[in-house]
Every structure is written in structure tokens, then in C-alpha cells.
Structure 1
Amino acid sequence: MHPAAHSLYPELDATALGAFAAALESGETAGLPPARAAEAEAVRAVAVFGRGKVTGADGDLLDAALWRHTGSGPRPAVVMPAPWTDLGWPVYAVQAARFATRGYDVLAYSPRGFAASEGHADFAGPLDVTDGRHALDHLLERAAGPVTRIGLLGVSYGAGIAQLVAAHDARVDAVAALSGWGDLGEVLRENSTRRTAAAHALLTASPRARLSEPTQRALENVLAHRAVHETLAWAEQRSPFTLVKELGRRRVPVFYAHAWHETLFPANQVLRMFQELDGPKRIDLSIGDHGGPEMTGLPGLPNRIWTDAHRWFDHHLCGADNGIDAEGQVLSEVMWSHALEPSPAWPVPTRRVRRLHLTGTGELADAPDPGWAAGVLCGVGTPVTVADAIARSGYAELAGRPRPYPDAAAMDRTATAVWTAAPTSATTRLRGTPRLRVTYRAANSGSTFVAYLLDLAPDGSARLITHAPSSDLDAPPDSLITADIDLQATAYDLPPGHRAMLALTARDPFYADANLPRATLSFTSPEPTPSYVELPLG
């Protein structure tokens, strides 16, 4: 039995979005706020809005809306598959209308199995790809004049579908993928660790969705630790990373937006996809969690993610000389200053990588210190965790309230192994992907630990910088295991007087735990393979 469902988009006002869509159709704007009423009237002055059905794969009808210009002149077009929500295409009502007022024909639709669309959710599988291609057909058949170039834009689930359709259909000229994924296998299993909280959220976040049997089975397999190879094969078919060479061969321009502390689709797998793309590309990395950075733009509030998505399509679909191609491939929002840093590429340039060794005194030091042991008890809760809940904790981060760890300096050392660096004398700029090498001994053949890099303040409180889980499922019992893992990428300023803190635990509720209850993981640093953390310094 799963806990109660919760939305991945708690800030969405479905009533307001529905009222705006109704006003687009009827012209009755009296019940809308003045700004929304003016926007609806502006759309109706240049385009015809109508609801309809797209005939998808196997004849299933997909709920859709079309913003169509009546003039016979050529114009660009945008297709927008909706995210993983029971609301469906009305999520895009305001942003689609804005594309329409800028001269685009727009089709927004609810993917199969969601909202009023028929069929069963295929999790961006072959049926969803076929549906997306049929959505392109639907728009092209109804356009009053020639369609010059086509963009696909999606948020979350829609972002995954948009990338996959673009890889399969040469008619797609540009993509905007907001809070999506690149490698679905890594979303479900990170460093051999099952990401059970993410799988659970996908199963429960849209309670009225009708999941296909393979989709339901794959997500339940993650929770139940079964059919690993079957599930990864299912995920590979639904991973844009599998088709990255096709996108690169056609040099499809791709715009990404993602959150540093993304708990549903972690950032590193998207960054890996981003690095492999050969065509024009840009990524915006923000404070927050899943869907949060672009959320305020959905109801129409000012939002830099949506502004740049429009600029991306204006440039690559309409030829607008708006400068977005000259602003660098990467824009990073720094925690917690909110400063925006452009960079020409990913990885961002670093001044140097500082290697800090784990020592027997609990310090992070410049020199190795072999021979010590630090044990943590398995199966017990610890005060340090990734977040309070999938997606929701990110809204507090966006408001400037990152999750506090008030007594981090006094963590229970029976369940948490902790190392701290010397206080910084000046602001330390962490930019990129921290890396951890650690050796430990596990009592059984399956083991899991979670590593957290924290910012420890002089008052003993801490904030999470980044983290990553790691599991070993094959080593013989009581053997030494050396784990080399990337923590999730970050852009973080460690203030003067603060310390970098590394914490290792055997359990976090966001991940499956392969340890035996009440067993011990004994971390150490053998002379041939010293344990250390590497910090990329900007």
C-alpha cells in the first residue's frame, strides 16, 4: 500500500488555468483578473482557439487544444505534450497563448492515459512517440498557411516525450525540455541504488492516470527490487540519451532547464545528456527542485526560464537575432546568493580541484591518513536526509529557506560518519561535480551508503550542498569495497568562516537500503586507495 498521493506541481491553480482556457474559447473574460483578461483578448485578436482530439497510436484519442492563426502566410509552430499531472494540457494554457500572440501556431495535448486522453500511459515509450508525431500531423493539417519550422516544448514528462519525438521525427527543428530526464535508467537506479522515493512519487502523483501494465510493473519493480535487467531495458527505450547521436547528427537545438536539488530526475543524468549533444544547446540550472524554477511561469508570472524558452524558439525557429546564442551554453543560479553566472560550456571552468582526505581524527585534510576505521550502524534513521519530500522541499528553497540541519555539528556518530574541513578564510566557490572515493567494509554481500556534502556554519548548523547514494550488490561478505562516485553537480558559495562537511550514512528514506538491519559499515582509508573528496573550485 502506497501513502497518499501528492501532486508534483502543488503550486498550480487548476481553476485559474481552466478559467483562462474557457475565456479563450468563449471570449467571456469578465471573471478573469485584468491582466489575464487582456491576454485572452490579445490572443483572440490574432488566432482562433479550439479544443479537439488528436488521433494517436492505435486510434486512441488524445485531448488537445489548438491555437491557429487564420492568415495564409507562413509561420512557425510549437507542440507541447503535458507533464505528469491529472490536469493535462491546460497546464500550458497561458504559455501556449503567449506563443500564439507572438505569431506561432500551437498545439498542446494531454499524453495518453492522462486527463481526458484515451489509452494508457506508456512513460514516453513507442506509443507516446507515435502520438507526438501524430500531434505534428494534426497541427500541420489544420494550419491555414505553410508551417516554416517546428519546436517541441515540454515540462517534466512532456520534456522527455519532446526529446524522444524530436529524435524520431526529422520535422522537429528545436526542443525546449524543462525539468525532464536524459537517462531514465539513472533516474530509477543511481550508482546501483534504487531511487524508491522517485518511483513511488511517479506511481502516486497522478492518481487518476491510467498506467500501462509495463509502466506499472517497471515502477513497482523498482520498489520491490526485482527484474532489474527487464526494468533497465524498459528505461533505455524511454531515454533520450539512447538517441543522443541522432539529435546530434541533425544538430537539433536543445534548451534545458533543471534544478540543482532535483529529487525526481537528478541533474547529473541531464548534464551527461547535455554534454553529448553536438548541436546548439543551452542549459539553465537553478535553485530548487522538480518543476519549481519554471512553475511561476505557467500561470503567467514573470519567469526567466520561460522567457529564455521563448527566446530559444524565436531564435532557432524564427531567426530572431536576440543574442541567446552568444550568452554561453550554461547559466547557473548560485546557492544561496541567487546570482546568475553564464559559462561557455559544461563542465564550467574551474580554477582547480581540491582533494581533501578523510582522516581518523574526523578532519578533511590535505594529506592521506591510512589505517583508521569509522563505523555507522545500518537500519536506523539519521538527522541528515536529502529533502523532506519529493519536489515540495524545492519550493522552500526557491523562497530562500533551504532545509536547515540545526545540530549538524553534534550528529550521532553511531549512525553518521562525519569529516569537516578547516574554516574557509574567504568565500569558496564550488562549481561543478564533487567526487568521492571511499573504502568501506560491509558485513554482507549487499551494502548501501549515502554521502552528503554540507555547509557547516560557525554556530553548528548546516545546509545541504549536494549528495549521492551508492550501493554494492555483489561483493563477498566482509570484503573491502572501494566506491568512486560523482555527487550531484552544484554551484555553491561557501562563506568565510564556514566549513565543508562530509557525512556518510547507511540509510536515507529517498533510497532503497541493501544493508542488513543493525549491521555496521566500517569506513576506512587503505594506503593503496586513500579515501577523499574532490571539490571543484571556481
Structure 2
Amino acid sequence: MTPAPRTPRTPATPVSLYPELDSTALGAFVTALESGDVTGLAPARAAEIAELRSVAVFTRGKVTGADGDLLDAGLWRHTGAQPRPLIVMPSPWTGLGWLAYAVQATLFAARGYNVLAYTARGFGGSEGQVEVAGPLDIADGSRALDHLIERTAGPVTKIGFLGDSYGSGISQLVAAHDTRIDAVVALSSWGDLGEAFYENSTRHVAAVRALLDAAAKARLSPQTQSVFDNVLANRDIQGTLRWAEARSPFTHIKELNRRQVAVFYAHAWHETLFPSNQTLKMFNELTGPKRLALSIGDHSGPEMTGLLGLPNRIWTDAHRWFDHHLKEIDNGIADEGQVLSEVMWSKTLEPRPTWPSLTEHVHRLHLAGGGELAEQPEAGWTATVLCGVDTPATVADTVVTSGYAEIAGRPKIYPTADIDRTVAAVWASAPAPETTRLRGTPKLRVTYRAANPGSTFVAYLLDMAADGTAHIVTHAPYTDLGSPPDSLISADIELQATAYDVPRGHRILLVIDSRDPFYGDANLPRATLAFTSPEPTPSYLDLPLG
């Protein structure tokens, strides 16, 4: 079957979800793995190749996947007959395919693992079509494991799957269906794909466009193309959610829990492709061994330096996770707590025993008519927002790449004085008398009146300095599609989780507007949203404090 014709479109920035990876450098690394000739390579890479070649053999090849499709792959194997653990690595959402893992797979192999990294169907040198972690992708993962087992000289002890981004979702789903798998490392992953595409019923159009742009040279199946087009065109929402449900690890969590599969997640606080709350939902329902590292940045940014072969704490913990759960090494990772969060912007690392333990208590601030976040509720006010006009309050400048600026210590600066109060509603707290330690998931309850059927708003939590400049703490969109015109709508939403220190003297700013280029909105042009706070259902912001 040939893919449905694609509508020509100009790719938006970025055209790659992995802008830091250099295919030429990775290709040279792999060529040196085969030949042993390290001429021109950096000393660190040359040393890694020499270490690997002293204990194991690397070969490129093909894995026969589902339906007989051949998948491009790299194989790192030891020739000795002693018992050995195995790792399978499905590729990220990139034409680089398994090459993205070349350095890390080499490091795992040098530490005694047999490793197979393969390119997911439809990408790069692999046959087939992109199914987005569908049944064929799950079957491919098991076939890749079969391939690795058949080429392992001695007994197999335990088995892990590791993936970044797309490969992480496939890894979780394969682990849920294949009883041979003992542990998973899922970096920049998703738990509920439907929630990632339709957060609070709001379409993540920028994320879908970024996925399409990054797969411009891939072969999308007709169903995949149709689903992405439907999200962008705002049609067949229920069909998309049904499609996403089967591709969501959360749907299959009972099997992971039944077998107590050990799962390590790494995620970015300002993730724009797979927002953190849907992964947190998955994480909190897991009952087996689990760990979650949350870091400054955006999709795949925190782990990127490890893919480049540089020191990286995410990858260090991935190695420790597999060493503990596949090799049964007592390296202390099981005693360090389930959660490790990197605090914005100090980069302090805070371990916690569980996710709920991040929040010690909740401080409620009420939305007041004078634009204050007040200690007591106030009824009777109205703040009207004109729809259809963007404001300087936005999620980020770009998908993925804005996160690299954050990691480098250059987060986006928001000029709050430029936010037009006719197209946005704004509330500010009093200056903080001391550092405010936000830890957990902020929650917003707000009541508003929409004159037309269908309405959307985006709520942003900002940290505002005395000069009026601000940084984003977190945000969330909200869409109502079912209320009759001119009715009061009560919205209870969770903003994306955070670990953020608001400095002494700064104010917490809540901004609500009707439009953000990251999202599709249901508002009619020039419509209005009138926010208020009825006595029976006061509007408030709950701040989780640690």
C-alpha cells in the first residue's frame, strides 16, 4: 500500500528534534568501530573504540521485523560463552536512526552487555512505514530481541529496552507485551499519547507540526498521516484518541505492574512535545521499581550531551539503572529515592523518596478584581479577554531549541509590561518575603463566561522581577467544547509540574490569554472570555510548596 499524498508545506524550525547530532561524526565513529582505524577521531572517542574492540565485536546488519520488513541495525556482541545481559535500543524520531545511539551502545557493550540498536520502521534505512508505536512497531521490538538472543554466544541473564523519545515509547510498549523484558529506560517519553496531543482538550499543533517536519524524509503510513492531518485540521478528535490509546503505555500499565518491570524515566520540565504531567500520571501508577529524573530544558535536551559522548548524569543513571536491575549490582540507585529534580534556575539536584513528597503543603491564592493574587476570595469582579490576539506570554519561542537556551542559562525573558490587558487577564502576588520553593503541580480553578460555543485559554505562571521582566515557571492550556453559548464555565486544570525557586522580592504572575502559537484554539475571532469569581466557586491558584 502506498502512503497517502502529503500536502506540500514549508517545514517550521526545527526540522530536526536532534539539532546537536552530527551524522557525519556518528558515521565516522561507527566506521572506526568496524575497522579499528581511529584516525581523525577525538581522543575520548578513540579510547572508547579501542576499549570496545578489546572485548567485543561490532557489526552493521538488518533485523527481520514484522511482515518481513528489514530494519537497519547495529550489533555489539561478546564472543565468550559466559552468561550475559542484553539491551535493545529502538531509535528516536529521526532519519539518523540507530546511529543516534552509537556512542552510548558502545559504552554499554564495553561494560559487558550485548546490545542491538535498530532504526524504527519507516525511518532511515529501515523498510516499512511509520506506525507511531503501533502493533508492527511492538512486534519489531520483539523480533529485534530474538535477533540479539540468537547471536548471543552464552546464556542470557536479563533483558532491558532503552529508548529516547520515539524509541522510549516503543520500549515501554514492547516491555508491556513481551514477558522477557526486565527493565526499561525511557528518556523524553510519553505515558498517554492522547493527552500529549490533546492536553485539556486543546490541540498541540506545534508539537504535531514538529513531528511532521522531523519526519519529512520518513515514510508515514496512511493512517499516521491521516491522524496528524486531523489534529492540525481539528477533525475526528475521537478517532485520534482511539488511535492514541493503543499507543499509550498507560493503557498497558497493568502488565508492567504485574511483572514489576523496572522503569527509569528522564523528562524535561518545559517539555513541548510530551508535556510532563501525562508521563507523571504513568509514573505514579507504576508499582514496580521506578525512578524519575526531571531537568531543566525541553525534549531530549537534558540527555543530549550523553548522545554526543560527553559526561551526562541522565545517561550515568541509565547505566546505573541497568547495572542494578540487569546485572544485580548494588550501586545505591535503589536507595536514592524515586525522584530526582533539577531546580530552576539554580540547577540544584533534589532527591525525594516519592513524587508526592515534593510538595510539603499547598498555598492558595485567590484571583481578585484588582489584578491581585490575594489571600482571601473576592467575588463580583470581571476580567474580559478579547480572543484572537496573541500576547508576549507564550510557551516558548520554538519547540525543542528553546530548551537548549534554558540549559545554557539563557531562559526566555518575558516583558510583562508589553502584555496588553485587553487581550489578557493578569494577576500578581505580593513580592515574596523570602524564596518561594514551588515543588509539584500547581492547580488553577477559574470561572469564565464564553459568548460563543467553544472556547480556549492558556494560563501561564511567571516569575516577575522588580523591573517587570519575567521567566516562565509553567503553563497549561484549556479548551471547552461542550458548553452552550453565554454560560458560566468552571475550569479546574493542573499546570505542568515544576521545581522552581521564586527569588525573594519577586512576584508570581498569572497570565491568561486566548491564543498561543503552540496550540489550536476553539475561539471565534473577536469573541470574548469574561473571567470572574462567583461566591459558590471562587477562582484560585494553588501553589505547591516544598
Query: Who is 2:476 aligned against?
Result: 468
* Cα distance in structure 1, aligned partners of 2:230 and 2:269: 27
- Superposition pairs of residues 310-325 of structure 1, within 5 angstroms: 310-325=319-334
* Cα distance in structure 2, aligned partners of 1:82 and 1:450: 33
* Cα distance in structure 2, aligned partners of 1:124 and 1:351: 38
- Of residues 513, 524, 535, the one that matches 1:516 is 524
Q: 1:148 and 2:157 equivalent?
A: yes
Contact 1:409-1:456 within 8 A present in 2 as well: no
Moved over 3 A (4+): none
* Cα distance in structure 1, aligned partners of 2:420 and 2:196: 30
- Superposition pairs of residues 271-420 of structure 1, within 5 angstroms: 271-405=280-414, 407-420=415-428
* Cα distance in structure 2, aligned partners of 1:177 and 1:411: 38
Query: Who is 1:444 aligned against?
Result: 452
Q: Aligned partner of 2:446: which letter?
A: V
Query: Who is 2:4 aligned against?
Result: none
Q: Aligned partner of 1:3: which letter?
A: T
Deviations 1:52-73 (A, max 9, x none): 1100010000000100100011
Query: Who is 2:10 aligned against?
Result: 3
Q: Aligned partner of 2:400: which letter?
A: A
Deviations 1:289-314 (A, max 9, x none): 00000000001100000000000000
Structure 1 residue 409, shift from structure 2 partner: 3.7
* Cα distance in structure 2, aligned partners of 1:265 and 1:77: 28
Query: Who is 1:33 aligned against?
Result: 42
Structure 1 residue 16, shift from structure 2 partner: 1.0
Contact 1:383-1:411 within 8 A present in 2 as well: yes
Structure 1 residue 383, shift from structure 2 partner: 0.8
SS in 2 for 1:529: coil
* Cα distance in structure 2, aligned partners of 1:439 and 1:57: 51
Q: 1:227 and 2:236 equivalent?
A: yes
* Cα distance in structure 2, aligned partners of 1:2 and 1:245: 41
* Cα distance in structure 1, aligned partners of 2:118 and 2:358: 40
Q: Aligned partner of 1:146: which letter?
A: P
Q: 1:93 and 2:102 equivalent?
A: yes
* Cα distance in structure 2, aligned partners of 1:2 and 1:503: 33
* Cα distance in structure 2, aligned partners of 1:335 and 1:493: 6
Contact 1:424-1:499 within 8 A present in 2 as well: yes
* Cα distance in structure 1, aligned partners of 2:40 and 2:159: 34
- Of residues 506, 511, 517, the one that matches 2:514 is 506
Q: Aligned partner of 1:477: which letter?
A: P
* Cα distance in structure 2, aligned partners of 1:2 and 1:292: 26
Deviations 1:218-245 (A, max 9, x none): 1111001111111100000000000111
Structure 1 residue 347, shift from structure 2 partner: 2.1
Structure 1 residue 351, shift from structure 2 partner: 2.6
Q: Aligned partner of 2:323: which letter?
A: D
* Cα distance in structure 2, aligned partners of 1:11 and 1:445: 44
Q: Aligned partner of 2:164: which letter?
A: V
SS in 2 for 1:371: coil
* Cα distance in structure 2, aligned partners of 1:37 and 1:430: 44
Q: Aligned partner of 2:32: which letter?
A: A
Query: Who is 2:187 aligned against?
Result: 178
Moved more, 340-349 or 269-278: 340-349
How many aligned positions are there? 537
* Cα distance in structure 1, aligned partners of 2:101 and 2:61: 15
Contact 1:86-1:207 within 8 A present in 2 as well: no
Q: 1:454 and 2:462 equivalent?
A: yes
SS in 2 for 1:305: helix
* Cα distance in structure 2, aligned partners of 1:299 and 1:396: 18
- Superposition pairs of residues 419-434 of structure 1, within 5 angstroms: 419-434=427-442
* Cα distance in structure 2, aligned partners of 1:357 and 1:19: 59
Query: Who is 2:5 aligned against?
Result: none
Query: Who is 1:136 aligned against?
Result: 145
Structure 1 residue 26, shift from structure 2 partner: 1.2
* Cα distance in structure 2, aligned partners of 1:164 and 1:19: 32
Deviations 1:138-170 (A, max 9, x none): 000011111110000000000000000000001
Contact 1:2-1:200 within 8 A present in 2 as well: no
- Of residues 219, 232, 248, the one that matches 2:257 is 248
Query: Who is 1:533 aligned against?
Result: 541
**TM-score, normalised by the number of residues in structure 2:** 0.98
* Cα distance in structure 2, aligned partners of 1:465 and 1:86: 33
Structure 1 residue 410, shift from structure 2 partner: 4.7
Moved more, 220-229 or 324-333: 220-229
Q: Aligned partner of 2:63: which letter?
A: V
- Of residues 483, 503, 506, the one that matches 2:491 is 483
SS in 1 for 2:482: coil
* Cα distance in structure 1, aligned partners of 2:185 and 2:359: 28
* Cα distance in structure 2, aligned partners of 1:4 and 1:219: 15
Q: Aligned partner of 2:64: which letter?
A: T
* Cα distance in structure 1, aligned partners of 2:268 and 2:495: 15
Contact 2:392-2:418 within 8 A present in 1 as well: no
- Of residues 58, 63, 68, the one that matches 2:67 is 58
**TM-score, normalised by the number of residues in structure 1:** 0.99
* Cα distance in structure 2, aligned partners of 1:409 and 1:150: 55
Contact 1:331-1:343 within 8 A present in 2 as well: yes
Contact 1:77-1:104 within 8 A present in 2 as well: yes
Q: Aligned partner of 2:348: which letter?
A: A
Structure 1 residue 458, shift from structure 2 partner: 0.6
* Cα distance in structure 1, aligned partners of 2:313 and 2:306: 8
Instruction: Give the gaps of 5 or more residues in structure 2.
Output: 1-7
Moved more, 91-100 or 212-221: 212-221
Contact 1:183-1:241 within 8 A present in 2 as well: yes
